[in-house]
Structure 1
């Protein structure tokens, strides 16, 4: 069949910047849990010890995250919501050492493009209890920063009518708001556990929802604590600890040549020490759970979804308890240059170098 000549009106053209912004923003935040996750990560990166997620109508009307972190400096007001503006990276190679949750400077910019309006109040604490109210346009440009407000140190970000410029996503959220709220709450449980897996500080973590025309209902209320066990108790009750034991593993995993080259080493073989810390159900019949709803995996304190690792855990557990699945909180501590956290827009997928070797070592 002869190839038809390309119509001149269909010639290849560059996509305009506005459309590029809307397209890429729609890939970064795809649902309610993604929007809340990005804001909570910003709060954790700001060193907050008190984080509140406040939803109105399940997040359909308003998503608001309040923290007592470091706040936004005045010189950063105009750039904080612009695409790919960040204090976390300067060059691509910095990805191998990054230890913050955010790093690409996409979250706030994307939320601006995906919602009707994004507003903030922020204070660095430099002027006592005085802060500034900021408002941003869909392109992330600062529209207003003249209004002074009473505000202790920290930042409040409010996202109004998310997905309003995207009718299909908006309708999907409105139709399935309860399901989306439950997915978000499950993910927030993981982020509530993050500071406790790091064993360095506690964070008071709260999530509430106010139905349209109804009362505010508290969904999660985790007091500030530095103990993983006390955090689990606060989230699911003291009885949830009855059948849990400490997860404390350490093993070596052979490092692949590509990783060695990146480290500047000539040896064809080397090994990484991997530590796994957390909690797991006792390996006895009746001590597990009927499903996998309480399994939380982290890599260097970052919540993730490592399919092969999760399968390894469950397969091993099934050899002791065939009828149940374990409760798991497992934080894998590995060298930052032995994993790739820049795999998916939501950063929930982490590529583990030598993953096959790690899984085999985990099963032994």
Structure 2
């Protein structure tokens, strides 16, 4: 597929990232990607497209090198209507890193003649530096998209991290997108915009109508995302066998160190029931999402990611009509208000109490879900977010 140039008067945004679609991920044998991050990037580009901006994804298209030596050339394709350029990738260590360092210089140079051009760097990555330097030299408006994992809580930054911070602060002077408002003091880049993602208003089926309640726990399954707390809550419910838990089912997707806990629960009979799907394709994930009633976001209150990240999946949950049950962290309450249920403690008992309240009073839970869906549809509709992003990229004083 040819990499076409936008019209002379059409604003252009390039997003430098490591977003992956399923076909490329499977083709390149990559197992270390972040599906939520990829969806956020592609959806942002779709929103910009609705606002009249030509948005391209420049993806490293890489994962952890296996050492096999398998190599993949530059790939240009459309991912959900977004033109995407994947850099070459090799599973041969060292060579893999070199390919990522220089894989997108040609694309950055190709668009240098455009009058209204922006490049956005998704987090501070060493592999972006050659493209960052070239884009800055060629007159791009350079923005940083600062997501979770950028702040080392309670620790001093290492030499490489300090160097990356310095370079991106120096060259991304046009502005910064922030995963949540708490990140603003952690960068000197101005102006800033807290960007939580987009919500599609394509769900017309009311959730929580049947007597059964199905909960979804997706993504990275580790203690730092609350997965162990959920597994312990399920174990306690199976031991106690309250009557209401017979109506409860958990769908588990994703991967991580805590996945075996759920596989053990799924392998044994008992209620609540547990179904483990592991890492799925995006299409399969949407199918699972559509049969669920409650979306779980359980990163611990007071944890190292509590204030410096935003669980973007809560926007996805609410947009699909699910009731959001989230830890009271970051900007979640500020965004949802009374459109979500919150956990203010990290212990399994608090989670059990919240689940019991949902199962026993589905009408109240349904009303909360309706409020949450209305909130995100009104505030984060793709066209509306596209206009906001366009104004930030091209009309701000950065």
Relative to the length of structure 1, the TM-score reads 0.29
Greater fraction strand: 1
> Which structure has greater helix proportion?
2
TM-score by length of structure 2 reads: 0.28
Larger radius of gyration: 1
